[in-house]
A = this chain, B = another copy of it.
């Protein structure tokens, strides 16, 4: 039994570096740890509480989440804020620089969409779904689209708006849309990406708009698994 373990404290300070001047390597030192980028992703559409993050990230354990949040905070990608009383709860927010990591999330998602091993039946967080829309959105198909789509995904609401071939989404205000979709993120993904019938969702408002909406996000062709 070791009674002292003072020595090996290089964990937090001198991290595991790549010793590489390449920006890619440095980025991986910042957000390359397991779960790091997924935690950051969940903050892309606004602050989240600890337990919300736990729920959004199936399988992350409390201690790992604590550690990742602390690291991201130390690196300047996440800030913790305490809301003013009476709701004096703590929320984690991405910093402006943290938000700038969205193109990374998109590049990864777009690339992986071609993977033969991708399993779209797994659960999905609301933020993931909304961000995936931004990633897969096809401006060409949406040239003539103008409307606001609300999403009620359990306790969380989002409002997406498409206009002039641009896609935007923010949390909240789902009811303000021209149409409101209420369902689980997985069910919505099944319709948008899996071609499931829209009847599997609760559609309130301009149903025709919803039917057009769900066709704006084409998936790229899968990679031929035998190619090399």
Contacts and interface: CB of A to CB of B under 8 A. Distances in A.
Given A76-B228, A123-B19, A228-B79, A104 B100 contact: no
Contacts of A104: 104, 107-108, 111
Contacts of A122: 19-21
A118 B22 CA distance: 9
Contacts of A131: 22, 24
Given A22-B124, A32-B32, A227 B96 contact: yes
A131 B122 CA distance: 35
A124 B24 CA distance: 11
A35 B11 CA distance: 18
Contacts of A103: 107, 110-111
Interface in A118-161: 118-125, 128-129, 131-132, 135
Which of A25, A27, A95, A115 lies at the interface centre, i.e. has the most chain B CB atoms within 10 A of its CB? Answer: A25
A97 B223 contact: yes
A76 B30 CA distance: 27
Contact of A20 (B38, B100, B223): B38
B24 A116 contact: no
A21 B97 contact: no
B100 A111 contact: yes
Contacts of A30: 112, 115, 117
B22 A125 contact: yes
A85 interface: no
A201 to B, nearest CB: 16
B76 A116 contact: yes
A18 B57 CA distance: 8
A37 interface: yes
A58 interface: yes
Interface in A20-54: 20-28, 30, 32, 34, 37-38, 41
B24 A128 contact: yes
Given A95-B227, A107-B103, A118 B23 contact: yes
Interface of A: 16, 18-28, 30, 32, 34, 37-38, 41, 57-59, 75-76, 79, 95-97, 100-101, 103-125, 128-129, 131-132, 135, 186, 189, 223, 225, 227-228
